[in-house]
């Protein structure tokens, strides 16, 4: 097996494409006992309409998340129990654009890798077990509906987006999951769980040749073109500027959003990430004013999110005076647009971002998270690190155009 070798932060990143089409990334952390492994597919909650074998297929919302739940149930037993016997921690998650299965272990790596690749590669669904899972996930949906922090964020997405399926909750609704059948699960599995649409990320002290050998044993040698998601045309402006909901909360929660153009270059999304930290990070004037007026606490977050067909800025927190929070946020953004961003601010945040990334290379889980994100977005981690170094103040300043009135929305939990 021929491996591509890249040195990142003093360690080797080995990568290769398996003959099935599976992309494999191994970050060699020889001085660590823990190995963190992720087996994932570029399939998430937004993939409810897609083109496969020349046909357009529409499936119920929440099916990617439902499928994730069902994959651990094998014909010869529960995959969680298999990992428990080896002493490994295992889990899975579904987000907007990916579904990932993982384990974290300090020994028996080869055995755990075989378990992971095997249970994700061999689906097992029946009508009876699907009906049982509908009740379990229905309870999970009720739980999410009762979580104010979850609702304030997803309500924001409903305000920002009119057509894109990112506005639909990841687990779907009780109505949509009731339409899911074992046949639909097999159909979606066969469409999106093809090796050429998947990736394997391993961070730890492992032998790459052993990984390749196990992949040969456990991965079906079928190279198939992955399906292509179909999205309706999304307007540039937001769906609505304001959305609110009443719930039991100690303080009103808020999520302020700015809708961005989707499918930007890696350089543009990197510049946006830096800009959000300049505007609303812990060293910013905005953050200082909000703290000084006791309008927010340590739970305040500011992030830039992007993926297939979507991109947006979100600022979230809790406050007794949300109107004043919005005033300060919009005022500081306007100041930045009018006066520009200083070289000192830019350099400070850029160094901070670089430092945070370098620190993550001391943790197998955090390195794996970076590699998974790169695999999903089909970008090179070394290239991403290089672009961060090359980002200029002008690149960041150019991104200020995102912060327009027509791109703005506010979600409140009262």
Catalytic residue set: 68
Whole-angstrom Cα Rg for the chain: 22
Stretch (H or E) spanning 123: none
**Listed residue (32, 26, 20) closest to 6, CA to CA:** 26
Helix orientation angle between 285-292 and 266-280, rounded to the nearest 10 degrees: 30
The arrangement of strands across the sheet holding 242-245 comes to 242-245, 408-413, 253-259, 310-318, 301-307
Q: Where are the alpha helices (DSSP H) in 36-108?
A: 63-71, 79-86
CB distance 104 to 118 below 8 Å? no
Which residues contact residue 3 at a Cβ distance below 8 angstroms, ignoring those fewer than 6 apart? Answer: 14, 15, 16, 208
Q: Retrieve residue 98's tokens.
A: 């990916």
Distance, CA of 154 to CA of 166 (rounded, Å): 9
Q: Retrieve residue 48's tokens.
A: 């409810």
- Strand, helix or coil for residue 368: helix
Distance, CA of 365 to CA of 359 (rounded, Å): 12
Distance, CA of 361 to CA of 226 (rounded, Å): 31
CB distance 77 to 6 below 8 Å? no
Distance, CA of 180 to CA of 173 (rounded, Å): 11
* Bridge-based pairing state of the strands 55-58 and 49-52: antiparallel
CB distance 164 to 239 below 8 Å? no
Task: Classify residue 411 as left (phi > 0), alpha (psi -120 to 50) or beta.
Answer: beta
Distance, CA of 329 to CA of 286 (rounded, Å): 6
**Listed residue (226, 200, 44, 198) closest to 114, CA to CA:** 200
Distance, CA of 302 to CA of 325 (rounded, Å): 13
CB distance 241 to 409 below 8 Å? yes
């Amino acid at each position: 097996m021929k491996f591509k070798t890249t040195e990142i932060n003093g360690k080797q990143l080995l990568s290769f494409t398996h003959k099935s089409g599976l992309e494999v990334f191994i970050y060699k952390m020889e001085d660590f006992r823990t190995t963190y492994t992720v087996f994932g597919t570029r399939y998430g909650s937004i993939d409810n309409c897609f083109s496969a074998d020349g046909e357009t297929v529409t499936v119920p919302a929440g099916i990617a998340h439902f499928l994730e739940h069902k994959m651990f149930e094998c014909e010869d037993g529960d995959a969680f129990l298999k990992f428990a016997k080896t002493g490994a921690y295992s889990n899975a998650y579904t987000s907007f654009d990916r579904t990932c299965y993982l384990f974290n272990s300090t020994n028996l790596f080869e055995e755990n890798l075989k378990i992971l690749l095997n249970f994700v590669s061999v689906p097992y669904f029946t009508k009876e077990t699907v009906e049982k899972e509908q009740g379990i996930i229905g309870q999970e949906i009720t739980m999410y509906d009762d979580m104010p922090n979850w609702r304030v964020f997803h309500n924001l997405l409903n305000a920002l987006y009119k057509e894109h399926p990112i506005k639909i909750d990841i687990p779907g609704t009780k109505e949509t999951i009731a339409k899911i059948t074992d046949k639909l699960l097999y159909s979606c599995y066969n469409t999106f769980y093809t090796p050429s649409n998947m990736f394997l990320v391993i961070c730890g002290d492992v032998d790459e040749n052993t990984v390749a050998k196990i992949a040969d044993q456990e991965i079906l040698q079928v190279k198939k073109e992955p399906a292509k998601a179909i999205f309706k045309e999304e307007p540039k402006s937001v769906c609505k500027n304001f959305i609110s909901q009443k719930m039991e909360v100690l303080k009103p929660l808020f999520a302020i959003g700015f809708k961005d153009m989707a499918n930007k270059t890696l350089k543009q999304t990197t510049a946006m990430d830096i800009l959000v930290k300049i505007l609303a990070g812990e060293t910013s004037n905005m953050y200082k004013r909000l703290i000084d007026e006791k309008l927010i606490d340590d739970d305040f977050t500011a992030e830039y999110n992007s993926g297939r067909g979507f991109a947006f800025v979100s600022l979230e927190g809790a406050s007794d005076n949300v109107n004043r929070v919005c005033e300060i946020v919009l005022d500081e953004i306007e100041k930045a647009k009018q006066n520009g961003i200083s070289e000192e601010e830019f350099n400070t945040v850029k160094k901070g971002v670089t430092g945070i990334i370098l620190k993550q290379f001391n943790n197998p889980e955090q390195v794996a998270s970076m590699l998974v994100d790169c695999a999903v977005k089909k970008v090179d981690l070394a290239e991403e690190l290089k672009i961060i170094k090359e980002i200029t103040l002008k690149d960041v300043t150019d991104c200020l155009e995102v912060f327009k009135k027509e791109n703005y929305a506010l979600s409140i939990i009262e």
